[in-house]
Amino acid sequence: MPPRKMFTALALPAVLTLTSVAPALGVVQPDSAPGAAAPRDKAPRPNLVFVMADDLGWADLSSGLPNGGFANDFNETPHLDQLAAEGQVFTEAYASVQCSPTRTALHTGQYATRPTNNVYAVSGIAGQAGDPLLGAPHGRPADGRSAVPTDYTTLGETLQQAGYATGYSGKFHVSASPDEIIASHGYDENWGGSQNSHATYYFATSNQFNDSVSPSLDQFAADYTQDYVDANIAPYSRGVSEAQLDALVGTDKHVTDAQTDAAIDFIDRSKDEPFFAFVSEFAPHFPVNDAQARPDLLAKYRAKAPGSSPAKPSYGALTEGVDQSVARIVDYLEETPDPRNGGKPLADNTLVIFTSDNGGEEDPVEAGADNGPLREDKGFKYEGGVRVPWIVWSGGRDLVRGGGRSNETLVNSTDLYTTLASYAQAALPARVPLDGVDLKPAFSRGATINRDHFHHVPGYVRFGGQLQSRPFSSVRDGRWKLYHDYTDGSFELYDLAADLGETTDLAARRRGLVQQLGEKLVEWLDETDAPLATLRAGQPTRVLEDVTGWTYAEGQVTRHRRDTLTIEPGDEVPFVLPRP
């Protein structure tokens, strides 16, 4: 079947509901669970809490549930482990190669190829003088700092318009300023979020954080008191002595604790109405060193013997700090009566989602993450750069079908928008192409949603001068993943069910499958009008002779029969799918 525009066949509907998603996306229902609870009385619209760690690796949790059994034997995350055991985990969840494209996808519900997204990396993707291609898409900015257009209806705005109180805590990054987060991106309140990409220092000094964190968080930056330690740290500590906890009193507040304070304060003040709390952790993003870790946790990990997983005490401390942050929020939900739901615990009518914004950064000096057997890490196109843990939990069994259930649905960052709008019964913006699917059938019933996953970066991704990714496109369909490299026109094919580490390229042996997946990729590029890298000025003209098959370039799909293609400097370098 030749590639063509497919506005309805792909999972890109503008409006997704329970009835429309199931047949279009192939929802597979699970077997009935023995002793399943009967439906309860109809509850009010649920509260929504989304917690996202920064640069947390796929295998950084001490539970093996979210990562196919690759538990970390150095980091300790007991509370997230419990959340996974009580809730539902998605082992095939994807983000983008870096944080800003993931964050833009979460706020817009769109793939980066859309003109109202158009964020592929933290900084420009044009590349360097020696790169053969020019990675800046035609007429579009490629810098992620001010990513989300102010006139776009974001997820926050959609929930606001549906009557939700909306609060943001922590890193934002894809905004031109802190004020824009409230004025243009749908949040009633913001604590700490700004255009900055990370906290350059994790502790407050003289009751305020440095300028990498918005001053709005400073109201929670006061030094630790004995009452604070007793109430908010001691109950969640394991393997830390009472003396180490007491030593925190009078010392500087850690940003993870401060932003958790802000999130809980918002929830407490907003519980008389439905609320959406977006908790964007600064940790464990670099800088990862002893100066950034809370002293009680750092002492614990310094004294701990390494296992088989990477063992960096400061990284373990930052990661367990995130674990304690989630535990505090969940405990508040479980212990606080819900005035909208007959005084039952808030947790009974709250959906909690936990994930990371990209694959972990494995640099042992600046970071220290663990992606397990996955190939490469943050910034790279392979699984280690883009696969992330994804846990959903609720105290109400009609919101999340839990019990440690593992779900193999392919999850993408774009899905948050449509899924939370579905739970909130919120109207989606008209005439806006949303690329996510409604995961509510998966969350609430344990259904598996059959869909493909796509990724596209029309330029170069670098970090610290290291080239991580060249211009590429990829598609995941079930167990198979296909990559296309635009620099040399090559394809790579991996069987992730048998080769999770992507060690054996099967493209030459499975040409028919390359053709099949390549056609899906061409259809998607065409559907989203994906921009491509161009041949850099000064490069020799490229001539491709005797081309038979399909190409995509300049927003068009073309069929060829033994044609000669000439690519001049300034022309888009096409996606070429030759017929076998």
Residue 79 falls in the annotated catalytic set: no
Residue 99 falls in the annotated catalytic set: yes
- Nearest Cα neighbor of 91 from 497, 455, 481 is 497
User: Rounded CA gap, 288 and 365, in Å?
Assistant: 8
Structural element, H or E, at residue 444 = helix 440-445
Please report the DSSP string for 104-154 in residue order. Answer: HHHHH-S-TTSTTT---SSS-----TT-SEE-SPTT----STT-S-TTS--
User: Rounded CA gap, 14 and 180, in Å?
Assistant: 26
User: Rounded CA gap, 54 and 264, in Å?
Assistant: 20
Backbone angles phi, psi at 37, to 5 degrees: -70, 145
Backbone angles phi, psi at 482, to 5 degrees: -115, 135
Number of residues assigned to the chain: 580
* Three-state DSSP class for residue 255: helix
User: Rounded CA gap, 80 and 222, in Å?
Assistant: 27
Q: Count of CB atoms within 10 A of residue 5's CB?
A: 12
User: Rounded CA gap, 476 and 495, in Å?
Assistant: 10
Backbone angles phi, psi at 102, to 5 degrees: -65, -45
- Nearest Cα neighbor of 321 from 351, 287, 282 is 282
The catalytic position among 173, 254, 285, 456 is 173
The catalytic position among 79, 99, 107, 456 is 99
> The tokens 């940790």 sit on which residue?
283
Please, are residues 358 and 96 in contact by the beta-carbon 8 Å criterion? yes
Please, are residues 170 and 280 in contact by the beta-carbon 8 Å criterion? yes
Q: Count of CB atoms within 10 A of residue 365's CB?
A: 10
Please, are residues 137 and 531 in contact by the beta-carbon 8 Å criterion? yes
What is the bridge-based pairing of β-strands 350-356 and 47-53? parallel
**Residue 55: which region, alpha, beta or left (left: phi > 0; alpha: psi -120 to 50)?**
left
Helix 313-335, helix 78-86: angle, nearest 10: 50
Distances (CA, A) of 360 to 98, 282, 292: 10, 13, 18
* Three-state DSSP class for residue 121: coil
Please, are residues 49 and 329 in contact by the beta-carbon 8 Å criterion? yes
DSSP structure class, residue 251:
S
- Nearest Cα neighbor of 197 from 270, 133, 122 is 122
User: Taking CA 285 as the corner, what is the angle to CA 282 and CA 286, rounded to the nearest 5 degrees?
Assistant: 125
Spatial CB neighbours of 464, under 8 Å, sequence gap ≥ 6: none
Active-site positions read 99, 173
